Chain A
């Protein structure tokens, strides 16, 4: 963005480059085609449904239903308020955490990072189930403790309310903001901050005037992802909103698939969400597009950590208290349920049992297959998705143009569609020619790839925005092809961003529920669906065992991925 005109014109003269054969045109062309099919196919089918009636005749009546029926309008308003509040609270809570972890000498930063990842791994609906155990107005553990302590009859906190839902969704959405933001903060070099410091700015002034503005694109990107995640979330509202006496658009859409199913209205109901997403993405690119945010260039210094002084341990305590909300408390509740005969019963020997462990790992035929399916899918989707997102982000960030905007729109579109609706679109797309994938893991692979790609792309794009093109240009001037440059210069510099992107997809797959519910069949069940099933039949103990095992396994794999990344030479990581 701030490249000198001479360099820029030279770098964009691709085909005529003298040295080496540039494969990029072919590869990028293939990606555009693949993406169009991947995203286009399900969207096309949704459009067909939204604009036809039950008999297959073209109509606009479905949208008429949408605007005129308060049963549909109210949930839509609720959904937008929910998503807006979640985005704000997620940004407010994640920003200080990310700053503390990435830019200060907070004790136990590694552990905090790991714990935040753990809260991220938790599927939101599992979090909602745990918070039911904790904060249901009468039976919730916290409310019972509160009554014992205060002697009163009032509940301290009622999870079955709109604010309760906002709270739970924020708990499990804030990590999105954290990951994107901390990754950007890791890469802000200290020289700018040093300069401000030399010019006499106070420590806090430096944070305000230098660090925050440089991190702003990442914060906005994170908040945007949080907004869209909250908007399309199904699991938590399904558990908390109905008892609270309101609908979100996703629970409403789910009920439209019940007997007698009205998929055409459901498809129409998804359209406002798609429009809002497009609008937000457009605003974001307008807002950020005008300013240069490149922080990693050929001349930059390293990131440096700020000393917190006497605030080190108080800050640590604060972080731990924040982490109690998505993590310590819910998993404590789950562990208790995992080994209790009666989940709500007292914590004593008579109520202790290993029956749930036995059921999950010995008796229940689906467990092993579901674990295998989930992790095979997560690994496959994360690896394929990372490569794809990286190539697209590179293309968009370095070349832009009309193709760039098309790519960006294509890759971002799935963000706006509730997983439930997308699931239906994918079902329609892959149960008929040319690709019949239903009943195989491939349909889930393509579904997860479609769903997770936007988040990975947001992450990669934020990384690219922070990376100055001058290093790549130097490489191109010295005769490397674009793909060669990408491999040897860009990729190593982006490593932490790439690993973060990989982990985002991996975790996203593990916690995805709404599309998996529609697309999985008996041989292709994944863990989230198994948990959802078990919740229907009320097996809290089994849910807890599976949930905790799932967390540990995911955690091990994420840790391994980060460890591999850490082994490579990345000077900026070595500091942290």
Chain B
């Protein structure tokens, strides 16, 4: 099942198989710690939610005193343009980067901006396909783009069960959706849905008077506020966090499959703090760090030994759509154009 989950980067494996002489791996050793401590800090660019990013930094600083984690949190797309701007101006600020848009890593690897850094634990424990075999990036987190509804406004028996259900006339004017032009998560989800359901699905969906918002964090908020009773897509982790805070929202895993969005991490080749970056990289895949992003962040971990909190359906029981960042990378312009044609924004 785990294998099924992580076919995500399978295409990549095929592509790079030829080049794959056993990539060297590394462990957290006292020497690495010492070298990292000498550097004193690590600059961490991430699109993970700011509270979770701060928790992660705090946990690391507690475990490795003397090494500061400088968190630079931006939305995935903004982060992408920021790094692009910085690199085109020869500013090598970022040491290690994490993004919810896996296609970015295809681009960065192609540009030669990433370093090969494969933690031993990742290669041994994580499912094949969840990391780049050459070690340039690995799926530190993942999240789903889900359907959800407001439990005060919709009864469980009336709630949609599938993407097809959302086309029913009764949902006209009642749906909210995030935008692939602004959110990497939604770009990935849109690609997967268009591939599995066809673009005709979006054409019909656009006729449902959908409220369009930007970020994938927005739809859960609109549902909780009661602005629209049902969301077509948006972050599962926001739904979890809202629900656990007591908000009236319930998640639905559509019967056609749920889009899976992988959020890899990679170490930059021109990092100013290469050892601290490698230390942080390896640590972020440990059970301790992974359990933290699951518990506090509502994210999904690809570690087989992770404990899913109560009330959340385990990843292994959910039917998932297949992730394919290589295709997203090559089709991004086309996806945005078609989307604009149907939704007018």
Contact = CB atoms under 8 A, between A and B. Distances in A.
Interface of A: 71, 136-140, 160, 238, 241-243, 245-247, 255, 257-261, 341-344, 359, 363-365, 424, 427-428, 431-432, 438-439, 517-518, 521-523, 533-534, 536-540
A42 B215 CA distance: 30
B211 A537 contact: no
Contacts of B74: 533
Interface stretch (B81-89, B117-125, B254-262): B81-89
Nearest to B337: A71
B238 A522 contact: no
Nearest to B75: A536
A431 B89 contact: yes
B40 to A, nearest CB: 15
A342 B75 contact: no
A533 B91 contact: no
B128 interface: no
Nearest to B89: A431
Give the interface size class of chain B: 35 or more
A259 B184 contact: yes
Nearest to A525: B72
A538 B81 CA distance: 22
B43 A259 contact: no
A522 to B, nearest CB: 4
Contacts of A424: 85
Contact of B181 (A139, A258, A518, A523): A258
B228 interface: yes
Contact of A538 (B82, B218, B226): B218
A522 B247 contact: no
Contacts of B50: 364, 533-534, 537, 539
11 contacts: A136-B227, A138-B227, A139-B227, A242-B182, A245-B212, A258-B181, A259-B77, A259-B184, A344-B225, A439-B91, A534-B50
Nearest to B178: A242
A242 B227 contact: no
A179 B193 CA distance: 52
A259 B51 contact: no
A431 B87 CA distance: 10
Given A438-B91, A521-B72, A261 B78 contact: no
A365 B74 CA distance: 15
Contact of A344 (B51, B84, B91, B224): B224
Contacts of A522: 43, 70-72
A479 to B, nearest CB: 53
A518 B49 CA distance: 19
B32 interface: no
B59 interface: no
B245 interface: yes
Interface string B80-108: 11101110011101000000010110010
Contact of B54 (A257, A261, A365, A521): A365
A9 to B, nearest CB: 52
Contacts of B75: 536
Contacts of B77: 258-259
A539 B52 CA distance: 13
Nearest to A431: B89
Given A136-B227, A255-B182, A342-B247, A533 B218 contact: no
Nearest to A438: B91
B217 interface: yes
B284 to A, nearest CB: 18
A537 B217 contact: yes
A563 to B, nearest CB: 37
Interface in B175-205: 179, 181-182, 184, 187
B30 interface: no
Interface of B: 43, 49-51, 54, 70-75, 77-78, 80-82, 84-86, 89-91, 93, 101, 103-104, 107, 179, 181-182, 184, 187, 211-215, 217-218, 220-222, 224-228, 238, 245-247, 332-333, 340, 343-345
B178 to A, nearest CB: 10
A539 B332 CA distance: 29
Contact of A243 (B78, B212, B245): B212
A242 B226 contact: no
A238 B345 CA distance: 12
- Name the residue among B217, B218, B345 with the largest chain A CB count within 10 angstroms: B345
A10 to B, nearest CB: 53
B81 A342 contact: no
| Nearest 10 interchain pairs by C-beta | A431-B89, A139-B225, A139-B227, A344-B225, A522-B72, A139-B226, A258-B77, A538-B221, A538-B217, A537-B49
Given A242-B213, A243-B213, A258-B81, A138 B228 contact: yes
A540 B225 CA distance: 11
A259 B211 contact: no
A261 B71 contact: no
Given A71-B340, A259-B104, A537-B51, 16 more contacts: A138-B227, A138-B228, A246-B344, A247-B345, A258-B77, A258-B181, A259-B103, A342-B245, A365-B54, A427-B85, A427-B89, A431-B89, A439-B91, A536-B215, A538-B218, A538-B220
Nearest to B221: A538
B247 A261 contact: no
Contacts of A258: 77, 80-81, 181-182
Given A245-B344, A534-B50, A238 B80 contact: no
A259 B179 CA distance: 13
A569 B104 CA distance: 62
Given A365-B54, A538-B220, A261 B345 contact: no
A537 B48 CA distance: 9
Nearest to A363: B54
A439 B187 CA distance: 30
B308 to A, nearest CB: 22
A261 B77 CA distance: 10
B58 to A, nearest CB: 9
Contacts of B332: 259-260
Given A242-B212, A431-B91, A341 B246 contact: yes
Contact of A259 (B81, B85, B90, B217): B81
B220 A261 contact: no
Nearest to B43: A522
Contacts of A341: 245-246
A428 B214 contact: no
Given A259-B104, A522-B43, A522-B70, A343 B212 contact: no
A165 to B, nearest CB: 13
A136 B333 CA distance: 32
Contacts of B218: 538
B84 A261 contact: yes
- Name the residue among A71, A242, A341, A344 with the largest chain B CB count within 10 angstroms: A242
A523 B71 CA distance: 10
- Name the residue among A342, A427, A536 with the largest chain B CB count within 10 angstroms: A536
B217 A257 contact: no
Contacts of A241: 345
A427 B81 CA distance: 12
A442 to B, nearest CB: 15
Contacts of A247: 345
B211 A243 contact: yes
Contacts of A71: 340
Contacts of B220: 538
B211 A160 contact: yes
Contacts of A364: 50-51, 54
